[in-house]
Amino acid sequence: MTFSKDLRFHQHINAICHKINKTLSPLYSIAKHIPRSILDQIYKVYIRPHFDYCDAIYDGHITIQDATRLETLQNRAARLVTGGLFRTPSDKLRAELGWDRLTTRRRIHRLTLYHKLNDPEQHCPNYIKAIMPNTRAQDTDRQLRNANMHTTTTSRTSSYHKSFFPTTCTQWNELPSTTQHLTHTTFKKQLSEHLGASDPPLYFSVGSKKGNILHARLRMEMTYLNSHLFSIQKTTSPSCQCGHRNETVNHFVISCQNHTEQRDILFKSISQTLLPDFINKSPKEQLRIILYGTDLTGCGGRSVALYFQNFLLNSKRFADLY
């Protein structure tokens, strides 16, 4: 870690940002040739460890500005992996990849470390045990209803209040008692499932590089469709070239008259090979199946994704804007 004379972590955050930017830099020129699944693995193996290193220590002591810098940097990496456009909503970027906010990851890491320190099988050093909060039963020598809760320490300064033990102790007490007494491996798994983001379906990684990027942009609701460009003041009107007043994702996929021929092929392919009643479903259900692979099996989802990406490429709507 990088410590400064005032014991702040601003210089440490600067060092993290520098390392990550240095790692990301060579990827920009070649990312368009690398499959999304490989880029995701590169991020998790070579980039995310820089975010995670000692994050349980500096969490709570970094400024809002530095915390925002880290989140912004992760969003840049997410756009690189997905091919998302600038101004894509960060929550949709993370949901697309199954990534957590860095604040959430730091909370999971702190609670995991706290559990490890309280686990007798982990052999916590005595100098750490001496400063750990006691349970209510240890402090009062009574069998109270909250006997297993840890006593939160009073703090005179905000710096100490935000430090590891006071903050994590409070969050530890919010966990169910059954969760607190799990084995360490099971605790880590359940905590990640409870607080973390769910993994995206394999459907999101299917297809050619260009087709997959266009498909993902529609899911994340930031594309070169006029309704999206109008929302960020990049065009003067949200109307479609076909004359419809609003070129939304729903309009483009389901009803735009400029792409009727390609849409008929798409719907016919899905109906003949997978869902005979697809044409009779409501437009909302059709869009959900096409964009997210809702209620489809693995093979079925792959087929629908490929059909839809062929529709996107053959429509020529994004031919000059990839």
Each residue's pLDDT, cut to its tens digit, for the chain (322 residues) gives 887 777 788 999 999 999 999 999 999 999 999 999 999 999 999 999 999 999 998 998 899 999 999 999 999 999 999 999 999 999 999 999 999 999 999 999 999 999 999 888 878 888 888 888 887 766 676 676 666 788 887 878 888 888 888 899 989 988 888 888 899 999 999 999 999 999 999 999 999 999 999 999 999 999 999 999 999 999 999 999 999 999 999 999 999 999 999 999 999 999 988 888 888 899 999 999 999 998 888 788 899 999 999 999 999 998 765 5
Tell me which residue of 90, 94, 81 sits closest to 36, measured CA to CA: 81
Q: What sign does the dihedral 226-231-235-238 (CA atoms) show?
A: positive
Q: Where do the structural domains in the chain lie, given as residue ranges? A: 106-195, 202-315
Question: If you search the block for the tokens 């686990």, which residue do you land on?
Answer: 119
Distance in angstroms (rounded) separating the CA atoms of residues 175 and 185: 16
User: Which tokens is 96 given?
Assistant: 């697309």
Tell me which residue of 175, 156, 180, 176 sits closest to 166, measured CA to CA: 156
Distance in angstroms (rounded) separating the CA atoms of residues 66 and 233: 29
Tell me which residue of 158, 105, 150, 147 sits closest to 132, measured CA to CA: 150
pTM score: 0.89
